[in-house]
Chain A
């Protein structure tokens, strides 16, 4: 099945309010559609278990911050080993309160990928069994991949910004004295 057929099948099953906004491959090279955040769980279960869709591989979970639209996009790249088709699913979340149900029990691999997304973008995955920071230290402040993130000047006394080595080690030459 191609992405358009998959979209039609899911939209027919779950209604236009849950699965919508299909984009053909054009400017964005992979066709994608949107899924409503509250109904992503049953849709994911359907996508994995339905024999025609059979998406048994969750490739990638990505979060992207769009402060202009006040949105955070969570992008799921899905693939089926059996059917050899792929699809991109996006969930648009409110930037100030980004919450989306976890897909850990559908694809266990979502566990770490969602933790990474939480760590770097602050997306909360509702129902996640172990939503802790994964790459950054537990007491890190802020979510670095947000566009308005500003790094603290130090972390436990370790400076996060080092002086420019060119300026630091530049040797000033003695000024030439006027010829006598």
Chain B
């Protein structure tokens, strides 16, 4: 029996446990909430329920053998962890990736970005009480999964990228299927906008909720769509000029504060909606341009012995923002240290700072709008 102590007789602080199996906490994570009625005084995240010691496993696998494990870093957007690990190893060993492989990487990553954002958008709408959008977004996600399945054989944990390239070229007729999907997807997103994004109830529910300013977002290390929603026009695809993203024309959507202040929950939602459209643009251009490069030239020249000495830090723009991989090799077949820096981990850090004064129901909106995925936090 714990004793309840009130600071004064009006003060009724209560401790509420949310999770680990709360349906709105996107995987397995837990919050310990001190609240006064509906108003939160402090919400402390308790993470680690999905810790699988990915980094420790990395020290025991060979460089190529670690690739399937990186899928599990973020199983909603596994392609990005693949690419991040591959690019870090390529940087470490100075491996050139053939152009066709880079195009295939871009196509697969952007399709994965769409499918990941579909989960984020649908789940966010469901978290705040709108059930209809979730099946809508899952329907689109299924089409992407079908496409990716034909490309690499898996629907969730792809293991598609390789150090130096990708594992398979596009199958015959795949391009037409992908184009057909995009033709259907674009109008579906406009429909989705009419259903949810521009819905008056939705705007009022999320406008001005949990506003994160640009400085706060930088200080707390928010990345990707969360950072852009706060008004910082920043995208690694444009800034780092990695892979072949320079070949494509696309915009970087930023938060505009149409529903209230810049950096509120609705902005974070809307940025993701817009990013899906940009991704379709990129995939279309990539499918058009990929034919200039010879077929089946998809794996670069690897050194005979993969025993690098040195270290490299590589970062890519994943669905949840800047994903970094730091790999240290000491002349062995296994990496000496493999470290993943993920967007969700730092995004969770800000919740404790933003929670005081929020309504309990708005905390759910904040978690969902940051698009945290538990495996990526815990690794």
**Other-chain residue from B48, B221, B328, B378 in contact with A107 (beta carbon distance below 8 A):** B221
> Once bound together, how far apart are the Cα atoms of A85 and B55, in whole Å?
27
Q: Cβ of B313 and Cβ of A109 under 8 Å apart? A: no
Q: B51–A136 contact, CB under 8 A?
A: yes
Mask, B214-239, CB within 8 Å of A = 1, is 00001111000000000010100001
- The answer to whether the Cβ of A77 comes within 8 Å of any Cβ in the partner chain is yes
B328 to A64, Cβ gap below 8 A?
A: yes
Give the complex CA separation of A175 and B47 in angstroms: 53
> Does B311 lie at the interface of the complex (its beta carbon under 8 Å from any beta carbon of A)?
yes
Beta-carbon contacts under 8 Å, A75-121 to B: 75, 77, 81, 84, 88, 107-109, 111-113, 116, 120
B345 and A112 contact, CB distance less than 8 A: yes
B336 in the interface (beta carbon within 8 A): yes
A144 touches B56 (CB 8 A): yes
Q: Interface extent on A, as a size class?
A: 20 to 34
Nearest CB in chain A: distance from B320 CB, A: 14
- Asked if residues B336 and A64 are in contact (CB atoms below 8 Å), the reply is yes
A109–B309 CA distance with the chains assembled, in angstroms: 30
Q: Is the CB of B56 within 8 A of A145?
A: yes
B219 x A60 contact (CB < 8 A): no
Main secondary structure of the interface of B (DSSP, over half): mixed
Stretch in B76-84, B133-141, B277-285, B346-354 with 4+ CB within 8 Å of A = B346-354
Say whether, besides A29-B92, A77-B313, A136-B48, A59 and B234 are in contact (CB < 8 Å): no
Given known contacts A81-B232, A112-B346, A59 and B315 CB-to-CB distance under 8 angstroms: yes
Q: Does B53 contact A (CB under 8 A)?
A: yes
A108 near B239 with CB under 8 A, answer no
Tell me the complex Cα distance, A113–B48, Å: 13
Contacts of B239 in A (CB 8 A): 84
Q: Are A112 and B348 in contact (CB under 8 A)?
A: yes
Q: Which residues of A contact B341 (CB under 8 A)?
A: 59-60, 77
Given A64-B328, A111-B349, decide whether A135 and B48 contact each other with a Cβ distance below 8 A. yes
The residue of chain A having its C-beta at the shortest distance from the C-beta of B239 within the complex is A84
Please measure, in the bound complex, the distance between the C-alpha atom of A50 and the C-alpha atom of B349, giving whole angstroms: 26
> Distance (Å) between the CB of A134 and the closest chain B CB?
6
Interface string of A114-152 (1 = CB under 8 A from B): 001000100000000000011111000000110000000
Contact assessment for B324 and A77 in the assembled complex, using a CB-CB cutoff below 8 Å? yes
Q: A62 to B326, Cβ gap below 8 A?
A: yes
Q: Is B362 an interface residue (CB 8 A)?
A: no
- Check A30/B349 contact, CB under 8 A, given A62-B337, A135-B378: no
A116 to B336, alpha carbons, bound, how many Å? Answer: 18
**Quick one: closest A residue to B88, CB to CB?**
A29
| A176 contacts B by Cβ under 8 Å | no
Pairwise interchain contact A135-B51, C-beta atoms closer than 8 A: yes
Given A64-B328, A112-B348, verify A57-B310 contact (CB < 8 Å): no
B221 and A59: CB pair below 8 A? Answer: yes
Q: Specify the chain B residue showing the minimal Cβ separation from A68.
A: B330
In the assembled complex, B322 has its CB within 8 A of some CB on chain A:
yes
Known: A112-B345, A145-B55; 19 extra A-B contacts, CB below 8 A, are: A29-B92, A29-B310, A29-B312, A30-B313, A57-B218, A57-B221, A75-B326, A77-B313, A77-B324, A81-B218, A81-B234, A108-B220, A109-B220, A109-B349, A112-B348, A112-B349, A113-B345, A135-B47, A137-B48
Closest 3 CB pairs of A and B: A109-B221, A27-B310, A29-B312
Show 13 A/B contacts (Cβ-Cβ < 8 Å), sorted by A.
A27-B310, A28-B311, A29-B311, A29-B313, A57-B221, A59-B221, A60-B339, A62-B337, A108-B220, A109-B220, A112-B348, A112-B349, A133-B48
